[in-house]
Amino acid sequence: MNTAMTNPWSSQAHAEFIGNYGFWHKGNQKKVAFIYLLGILRVTREHIREIYDFETDEIHPECLTRPWVTPLARRTIMLAYNLYTNWIPPEYPEDCSPSALFDNPQVHKYMVIGLQKFYAEDLDNGSHH
Q: What percent of the chain has pLDDT over 70?
A: 85
Residue 6, domain member (yes or no) = no
Q: What is the pLDDT of residues 2-21, one digit of tens each?
A: 444 567 888 899 989 888 87
Residue 7, domain member (yes or no) = no
- The residue range of the domain holding 84 is 12-123
Instruction: Supply the pTM of this predicted model.
Output: 0.78
Residue 128, domain member (yes or no) = no
Task: Give the total number of structural domains in the chain.
Answer: 1
DSSP letter string, the chain:
--HHHHS--SSHHHHHHIIIIIGGGTT-HHHHHHHHHHTSSHHHHHTHHHHEETTTTEE-GGGGGSTT--HHHHHHHHHHHHHHH----TT-GGGGSHHHHT--TTTHHHHHHHHHHHTHHHHHTT---
Q: Report the chain's mean pLDDT, rounded to a whole number.
A: 83
Residue 97, domain member (yes or no) = yes
Residue 106, domain member (yes or no) = yes
Residue 63, domain member (yes or no) = yes
pLDDT of residue 66 exceeding 50: yes
Residue 101, domain member (yes or no) = yes
Single-letter residue type at 9: W
pLDDT of 125: 66
Confidence of residue 115 (pLDDT cuts 50, 70, 90): confident
